[in-house]
């Protein structure tokens, strides 16, 4: 049977179709041995290998064999059952990865938006537990400044005068600071600061409009608003707290090839621990 290219398995009534080479990633495993009729518990019935095990959990095992990576849904909780299935199939490298349950579980990410209104200007400060999220958000937010006549603080659109980009203030990897609105300058001129948040192309000067767009952006990105509170009533500082489940990077197996053997040499994170 080892010369067949396409293999059909029926695991607990769930049908899987794969390549023989996928099942042979680990030659010492039960799945590889069954192709040579070398397993008493897995039988060939009507051209399909019948396995009396959990078909739903086997889908994760097939994903591992195809990618050599463990990447589970955020709501997954059957770590011990999946580890038991991996041991049944003789995939001890997978079982070892599943024993590192703390690395596979999703983590709660916290984000906080502070909003301060002072006369004709609005100040924003965003804190995040994950620096990668702050970095991504900083790439979406663009600031512009320019001169304009009169007090047009409530206008959502910039004047016809040219605007110039401003850099975001980044006190640390975990927060950013920016502002919008108008500030009195010489004569009847005002310095105007606008905010644009991609993919929205509008340049907004009104703080309430910017706040609404910012909160909407975070909600669309999977965050959930968990609380609002007044930090300082005198300084008019409001705080909005968000959270979301952040999927951990997958754990990857590095496979070394040698005559007659193919085993997991090392388990490692598939990407750097950026944002911790």
CA 161 – CA 172 distance, rounded (Å): 33
Neighbouring residues of 22: CB distance < 8 A, sequence distance ≥ 6: 62, 65, 66
Q: Please report the pLDDT score of residue 158 as a whole number.
A: 53
CA 58 – CA 237 distance, rounded (Å): 52
φ/ψ of residue 235, rounded to 5: -95, 0
The tokens for 110 are 């916290």
Residue 160 predicted with pLDDT over 70: no
Residue 154 exposed, middle or buried by CB count within 10 Å (0-12, 13-18, 19+): exposed
Q: Which CATH number fits domain 108-148+161-246: 3.40.50.1980, 3.30.930.10, 3.30.1410.10, 3.20.19.10?
A: 3.30.1410.10
pLDDT: is 235 or 206 the higher one?
Answer: 206
Average pLDDT over residues 105-124: 90
Residue 265 predicted with pLDDT over 50: no
> With a threshold of 0.85, does the pTM exceed it?
no
Residue 268 predicted with pLDDT over 80: no
Q: Which CATH number fits domain 6-105: 3.30.710.10, 3.30.450.20, 1.10.10.10, 3.50.90.10?
A: 3.30.710.10
Average pLDDT over residues 17-21: 94
Q: Please report the pLDDT score of residue 125 as a whole number.
A: 96
Residue 78 predicted with pLDDT over 60: yes
């Amino acid at each position: 049977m080892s010369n067949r290219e396409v293999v059909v398995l029926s695991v607990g009534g769930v049908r899987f179709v794969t390549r023989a080479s996928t099942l042979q990633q680990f030659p010492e495993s039960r799945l590889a041995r069954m192709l040579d009729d070398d397993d008493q518990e897995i039988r060939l019935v009507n051209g399909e290998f019948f396995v009396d095990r959990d078909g739903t959990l086997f889908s994760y095992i097939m994903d591992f064999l195809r990618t050599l990576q463990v990447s589970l849904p955020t709501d997954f909780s059957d770590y011990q059952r999946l580890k038991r299935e991996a041991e049944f199939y003789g995939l001890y490298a997978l079982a070892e990865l599943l024993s590192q349950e703390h690395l596979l579980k999703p983590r709660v990410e916290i984000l906080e938006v502070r909003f301060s209104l002072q006369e004709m200007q609005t100040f924003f400060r965003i804190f995040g537990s994950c620096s990668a999220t702050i970095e991504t958000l900083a790439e979406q937010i663009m600031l512009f400044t320019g001169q304009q006549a009169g007090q047009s603080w409530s206008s959502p659109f910039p004047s016809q005068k040219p605007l110039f980009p401003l850099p975001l203030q980044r006190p640390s990897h975990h927060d950013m600071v920016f502002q919008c609105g108008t500030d009195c300058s010489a004569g009847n001129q005002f310095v105007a600061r606008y905010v644009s948040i991609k993919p929205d192309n509008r340049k907004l000067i009104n703080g309430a409009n910017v706040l609404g767009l910012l909160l909407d952006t975070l909600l669309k990105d999977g965050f959930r608003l968990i609380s609002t509170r007044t930090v300082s009533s005198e300084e008019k500082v409001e705080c909005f707290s968000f959270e979301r489940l952040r999927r951990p990077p997958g754990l990857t197996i590095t496979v070394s090839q040698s005559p007659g053997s193919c085993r997991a040499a090392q388990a490692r994170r598939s990407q750097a621990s950026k944002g911790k």
